[in-house]
Amino acid sequence: MIGFLSRWWGGSPPAVEPASLRDAARLAQLHGASFHRGWGEGEFETMLTERNTLVHRLRQGRNVIGFAVSRMAADEAEILSIAIDTGQRGRGLSRDLLLTHLGHLAGHGIRTIFLEVEENNAPARRLYEGAGFDVIGRRERYYKQPGEEHLNALLMRRDLS
């Protein structure tokens, strides 16, 4: 898959690697372009310094084009957010990013992963279901949207062990 992507882009394959404090502004930019209420640079700086938070960036050449962030507690983790640059979507990059991130979580002793996803977000649901996540619950009116609309969230889980 990586060889195909490399030939398709005509350059080096995308790389998933640990994010650093230098990435905080770009991660905030990506998050803001992907979600109604984007996290700020300060919020990413905090997450990047917390010992129980794992943040990976997806880099194409010198450009950070995505990220995944999870918070860990004992042998469980919650995926807090995944985002891909709007111009890079639809190329399977989020799947590679997610699976690599899950592998690193497993390496930290994580056995169970949870996440919440907007019920109407079909691309994200396909991503998570394709990666082995199952719906285990629903939170009514969980996400507040512009104009006071509230959307439901699905709670999903995947066991790594």
Hey, how many other C-beta atoms are within 10 angstroms of the C-beta on 69? 23
DSSP secondary structure, the chain, as one string: -HHHHHHHHTSPPPEEEE--GGGHHHHHHHHHHHSSSPPPHHHHHHHHH-TTEEEEEEEETTEEEEEEEEEEETTEEEEEEEEE-GGGTTSSHHHHHHHHHHHHHHHTT--EEEEEEETT-HHHHHHHHHTT-EEEEEEEEEEE-GGG-EEEEEEEEEE--
Kindly give the confidence (pLDDT) of every residue in the chain, 161 residues in length, as a single tens digit, with 9 standing for 90 and above.
544 444 444 567 899 999 999 999 999 999 999 887 789 999 999 999 999 999 999 999 999 999 999 999 999 999 999 999 988 888 889 999 999 999 999 999 999 999 999 888 888 999 999 999 999 988 776 656 666 677 778 999 999 97
Angle separating helix axes 122-130 and 93-107, nearest 10 degrees: 50
Q: Residue 92 corresponds to which tokens in the numbers above?
A: 């399977």
pLDDT score at 141: 66
pLDDT score at 133: 97
pLDDT score at 153: 86
Distance (Å, whole) CA 88 – CA 35: 16
pLDDT score at 8: 46
How far is residue 61 CA from its own chain's centroid? 20
pTM, entire model:
0.85
